[in-house]
Amino acid sequence: MNTYLNALGIICNLGTGKAAVAEALFAGDDSRIRPERGWIPNHEPPLGSVHAELPPVPAALRHRDNRNNRLLLAAALEIEADIRAAIATHGPARIGVVLGSSTTGIEEATHGIAAYRHGGAWPADYHYSHQELGAPAEFLAEWLGLSGPSYGISTACTSGARALMSAQRLLRMGLCDAVLCGGVDTLCRLAINGFHALEAVDMQRCDPFSRHRRGINIGEAAALFLMTRENGAVQLLGGGASSDAYHMSSPDPEGKGARKAMEDALRSARLNAAQIDYINLHGTATEHNDSMESQAVAGMFGHTVPCSSTKSLTGHTLAAAGALEAALCWLSLTDVRAERRLPPHVWDGEADLALPVLNFAHVGSHLPAGGRRYVMSNSFAFGGNNASLILGDPA
C-alpha cells in the first residue's frame, strides 16, 4: 500500500513556509545560525532560533499556550486548507496525529518551577501538561476537533522520523485515512545546558565531517506533513529503524546500528543502494557520530552518492530533526523550477583524513534529470536509536 506526503507546513530559522525555507536552504545561507546570550552562563552559543512572530494560540486553548505549540501552529496554518479538506472528506475520527517532540513546553515549565521555588506559589499560567511529551499532538487534535489516534513519540533525535514511520503504519493498518505527522521542538535551557555539560556544543558554527568539528549548534523547528494513501507530490517509500544500545549517549563506533536502519529502509522501499540519488546525513558535527555515519554510508553506498548535513544551516533541532530533514528532502523532490536542487553541505572544507571520503553536495548540486528520484534521510539518537527514511517521486 502506497503512502504519500501530500502537504508540508514548515518553520525553522531559515524562514516561515516552504518558499522562504527553500530559498535559504538551496543558497546555503548559514547566516541564520547566530550567537545568542542568556542561554548558557558566560557563553554565547550559536543557535538556530526562529525570530518570526508566531501565531497566538486560540483563546479556547489558552491552557495549551506555549512556544512549542505556537511553533507547531505556524506550520499547521500553512497547510490548514489541506487539513480541513481531509477532515471534510474522511471525518474527524479517521484523521490521526503523530508528532515527535522532546522539549515540548519545558522552557515555560522551568520558569514556573523557578517561580514556585522562589515564592512558594505556582504562577497562574503554569500547567504541568506543557511538559508532557504527547502535549503537541493533543494540542493539534484539540484545535482541529480530531478524534482519531493521537500521540507523541520521543526517541530523542529520531523522534520526527519515527513519527512518519508510525503514521505510515496507521494508514497501512487501516486505522486512519490521513495522518498529520512530523516533529516540533523549541529551544530550552535544559537541553542547551545539558549538551553543553556533555561538551558537545560548538561555540562557533558547526562543521559536520570536518577535521575541526567540535560539536553541535542547537536549533528549533516544526515540520508537519499530511500523509494519506492518495497520490501526492512525494511518496514515502519506506523506513528502517534499529536500536543497537551500544552506549547511553555514544553510537556504535562502527555504525552497525546505523547501517541496519539504512538496510531496512532500502528493503522496505524495495530499492537497492545504487538507486539512491541523495542522502541527507544526520551529520551532527560531533566526533563520534560523524565518524560512524561516514563509515556506514561509505560502506553501503561507496563514495559517489551526493550527500550533505544540513545542521550547519538549521542547527540540530533535536526531536524535530528527523521530520525537518525529511521536509528538506521533500523540498528537493518538489523543486521543479530549478532542476530539483540539493541541500548543500556547508562546512570549512577541511576533510578529516581519518574518515571515509564522501561526495558532499554544494550550492548548485541537483538531482539527476529524468526518471524517478529517490532520497534518503538519516537520523541517529542517544542510546543507539537509529532511523532512516526513503522519499521519492510518486509512481
Q: Which residue has the higher pLDDT, 247 or 302?
A: 302
What residue spans of the chain are helical by DSSP H? 18-26, 67-78, 80-90, 106-119, 135-144, 159-172, 189-197, 256-269, 287-301, 311-314, 321-333
Average of pLDDT values for 305-320?
A: 98
Residue 250 has pLDDT above 90, yes or no: no
CB atoms < 10 A from the CB of 300, how many? 18
Sign of the torsion angle spanned by Cα atoms 148, 126, 163, 312? positive
- The one catalytic residue in 130, 316, 345, 366 is 316
- The one catalytic residue in 12, 130, 157, 366 is 157
Q: What's the confidence (pLDDT) of residue 292?
A: 95
Q: Where do the domains of the chain lie, and which CATH numbers do they carry?
A: 4-392 (3.40.47.10)
- The one catalytic residue in 196, 282, 345, 366 is 282
Average of pLDDT values for 232-261?
A: 89
Q: What's the confidence (pLDDT) of residue 247?
A: 75
User: Which residues are within 8 A (CB) of 161 and not within 5 positions of it... i.e. 6 or more apart?
Assistant: 100, 239, 322, 323, 326, 377, 379, 387, 388, 389
Q: Residue 157 catalytic?
A: yes
Give percent of the chain above pLDDT 70: 100
> pLDDT tens across 98-132, in order?
999 999 999 998 999 999 999 999 998 888 888 89
Euclidean distance between CA atoms 139 and 63, whole angstroms: 10
Longest dimension (CA), the chain: 66
Give percent of the chain above pLDDT 90: 90
By mean pLDDT, which of 126-130, 178-182, 218-222, 260-264 is the weakest? 126-130
Average of pLDDT values for 6-12?
A: 98
Task: Return the C-alpha cell found at 140.
Answer: 493539534
| pTM for the predicted model, two decimal places | 0.97
Q: Residue 51 catalytic?
A: no
Q: What's the confidence (pLDDT) of residue 127?
A: 86
Euclidean distance between CA atoms 294 and 317, whole angstroms: 21
Q: What's the confidence (pLDDT) of residue 246?
A: 77
Q: What's the confidence (pLDDT) of residue 261?
A: 97
The secondary structure of 316-375 as a DSSP string is B-GGGHHHHHHHHHHHHHT-GGGT-B-----S---B-TTSPP-EE--TT-BPPSSS--EE
Average of pLDDT values for 72-85?
A: 98
Euclidean distance between CA atoms 380 and 262, whole angstroms: 11
Q: To the nearest whole number, what is the mean pLDDT of the chain?
A: 95
In terms of phi and psi (left: phi > 0; alpha: psi -120 to 50; beta: otherwise), the region of 40 is beta
> pLDDT tens across 361-390, in order?
999 999 999 889 999 999 999 877 999 999
Euclidean distance between CA atoms 360 and 333, whole angstroms: 18
Q: What's the confidence (pLDDT) of residue 253?
A: 80
Q: What's the confidence (pLDDT) of residue 125?
A: 86
Residue 176 has pLDDT above 90, yes or no: yes
Q: What's the confidence (pLDDT) of residue 164?
A: 98
Q: Give burial (CB, 10 Å; 0-12/13-18/19+) of 100.
A: buried
> pLDDT tens across 331-346, in order?
999 997 778 999 999 9
Residue 203 has pLDDT above 90, yes or no: yes
